[in-house]
Amino acid sequence: MHFFSLAGIISLTAIHDNMFAPRWKKEAKLLHKAAKKFLHYKRDLLSDQQIAEIQSRCQDLQTAWKQKDKEKCDEASKQLHATCENALPKQQRQGWIEENLEVIFVAVVIALGLRAYVVQPFRIPTGSMQPTLNGIVATQVASSDEFPNIAMRTLQRVTRGRKYVDLVLEEDKRLRAENPVIEKPYFHFFTHTYIYFDDGTKLTFPGPKSALMNRNGMGFGHICGYPTSDMSQEDKNQYQRAMLGTSRSNISIEGSRSRPIAFTKPEIAAGTVIARGYIDTGDLILVDKISYHFRQPDRGEVFVFDTRDIKKIHSQAAQNGGTAGSHYIKRLAGIPGDKLQIKQSNLYVNGEKAQETGIARVMSKQDGYRGYEASYRLQGGKIFKARKSNIPGMNEYIALGDNSYNSSDSRFFGTVKEFNVIGPAAFVLWPFTSGHWGAIK
């Protein structure tokens, strides 16, 4: 882009000539000064030949006005003007494609800036925060005949984030020997689960592993003999009997060899319904990335943190053949210096029963809440401490899921360092019909 056009330079040049000189001579002198400035500003963009030509035209013009030859001066002026104007390529007017691409580019830059420094969207992938926030929920149906028509499915997809799935095995298959069912992130906001067979084929389930395997999901865990968190005591006993009576060669294994989890029924017959029903998407929330720059995180609020350097999260995912999620969302149960205990489903902070509204709601055992489960670092009345640190970024926080009986949280993977903390969960953006739309409490 030419920041200094010849016409612009002429208009900005002060007139110091003799006010009684002829008009044509004044204009010639102004053009001569403008050409000199043009040469000064654009010298780095001009070739040696162009510089020499402009200087020659300037000399011709100066000679003409000194000789008081108006016609010769007019001709020299035209030549100098044309030489300067043609010295650099003219900027072409943008077409509609270029204009729209520029608008899109600016919008993307603004969006990325907002995401990096102001707010960040985050999808709730699991049920660890239910019923405060919805994770992805799967519901079985007996027959695909119960699926609504295309128009209704489209409407439900827009308003509820609901997807329908009908996965049926077309031929006899066997799950592969190691890590046959793996959950992986998909386009950052979504999670897919892949079922791998020993013949190299796979099936894709458009949701998290828990939604596929659990009895209160699609129930595939029951079909392939996989233990799930919601299995009944009878199912647990049956699983233990199957483990005792089955050789290692007849099962598929998940996790490390020292702590394997078995698929006791890896043979899947043709016609088996792997998953049939619908999946309601998890809440899409906005995370406030500004507040913690001006205040400390508050005990009891819902917050989001990244999983960098939280080794147990990543090692567990690797053992199961998958990839750990990059961000988690939990309730902030302990701030630096706090000592936590769980007694009879209640959370105690520094020896006193927690009073924060969100934590009290979990302990109430009402409206879908079940209290806190004493496990891992908080089992049997153990004290779990969040340490204070004088090293920047190393203060510790304790994160617990509201759905304590089905939540992988600080009880398992330990404290969350200050450098991991992103910000408080501020607003449920979508879907509109989840019952959670609005500010998060």
Which CATH number do you get for residue 409?
2.10.109.10
Residues 409 and 310 in one domain: yes
Phi, psi for 162 (deg, rounded to 5): -90, 130
Phi, psi for 71 (deg, rounded to 5): -65, -45
Question: Tokens 């011709």 — which residue?
Answer: 60
Residues 297 and 411 in one domain: yes
Domain stops at, among 61, 85, 109: 85
Give CA–CA dist 137/191, Å, rounded: 12
Q: Is the pLDDT assigned to residue 17 strictly greater than 80?
A: no
Q: Are strands 327-334 and 339-343 parallel, antiparallel or unpaired?
A: unpaired
Cβ proximity of 249 and 263 under 8 Å = no
Question: 275 is written with which tokens?
Answer: 């998953």
Cβ proximity of 427 and 285 under 8 Å = yes
Confidence of residue 73 (pLDDT cuts 50, 70, 90): confident
Mean pLDDT score across all residues of the chain: 85
Q: Supply the range of the domain harboring residue 68.
A: 6-85
Give CA–CA dist 284/124, Å, rounded: 6
Q: Is the pLDDT assigned to residue 324 strictly greater than 70?
A: yes
Give CA–CA dist 143/137, Å, rounded: 18
Q: Considering only CA atoms, which of 325, 281, 306 is closest in space to residue 436? A: 281
Confidence of residue 100 (pLDDT cuts 50, 70, 90): confident
Specify if 128 maps to a domain.
no
Residues 255 and 305 in one domain: no
Specify if 121 maps to a domain.
no
- Helix H or strand E segment including 192: strand 190-196
| Helix 23-42 and helix 70-85, axial crossing angle in degrees, nearest 10 | 20
Cβ proximity of 265 and 103 under 8 Å = no
Q: What pLDDT is stored for residue 134 in this prediction?
A: 87
% pLDDT > 70, the chain:
87
Domain stops at, among 265, 280, 295: 280
Specify if 253 maps to a domain.
yes
Q: What pLDDT is stored for residue 26 in this prediction?
A: 85
Q: Is the pLDDT assigned to residue 12 strictly greater than 60?
A: no
Q: Is the pLDDT assigned to residue 189 strictly greater than 70?
A: no
Q: What pLDDT is stored for residue 359 in this prediction?
A: 97
Residues 66 and 190 in one domain: no
pLDDT tens-digit series, residues 227-248: 887 777 788 888 888 777 666 7
Cβ proximity of 333 and 356 under 8 Å = no
Give CA–CA dist 77/98, Å, rounded: 37
Specify if 116 maps to a domain.
no
Residues 310 and 356 in one domain: yes
Cβ proximity of 426 and 286 under 8 Å = yes
Specify if 101 maps to a domain.
no
Give CA–CA dist 30/62, Å, rounded: 11
Residues 293 and 435 in one domain: yes
Terminal Cα-to-Cα distance of the chain (whole angstroms): 52
Beta bridge partners of 197: 175
Residues 246 and 360 in one domain: no
Strand blocks (E) in 245-351? 252-254, 261-263, 267-268, 273-280, 284-288, 302-306, 327-334, 339-343, 346-349
Average pLDDT over residues 172-201: 88
Question: 172 is written with which tokens?
Answer: 């006899």
> How many CA atoms lie within 13 Å of 47's alpha carbon, on the beta-carbon side?
8
| Residue 357: count of CB within 10 angstroms of its CB | 10
Residues 211 and 254 in one domain: yes
Give CA–CA dist 119/54, Å, rounded: 55
Average pLDDT over residues 319-325: 70
Residues 221 and 353 in one domain: no
Specify if 120 maps to a domain.
no
Cβ proximity of 326 and 307 under 8 Å = yes
Domain stops at, among 24, 58, 85: 85
Residue/partner pairs of 348-355 with CB below 8 Å, 24 or more apart: 349/299, 354/299, 354/300
pLDDT tens-digit series, residues 26-43: 888 888 888 888 888 888
**How many domains is the chain partitioned into structurally?**
3
Specify if 416 maps to a domain.
yes
Residues 293 and 422 in one domain: yes
Q: Is the pLDDT assigned to residue 9 strictly greater than 60?
A: no
Give CA–CA dist 176/270, Å, rounded: 16
Residues 269 and 325 in one domain: no
Question: 105 is written with which tokens?
Answer: 């580019």
Specify if 103 maps to a domain.
no
Average pLDDT over residues 167-184: 93
Give CA–CA dist 108/372, Å, rounded: 43
Residues 65 and 12 in one domain: yes
Give CA–CA dist 375/408, Å, rounded: 10
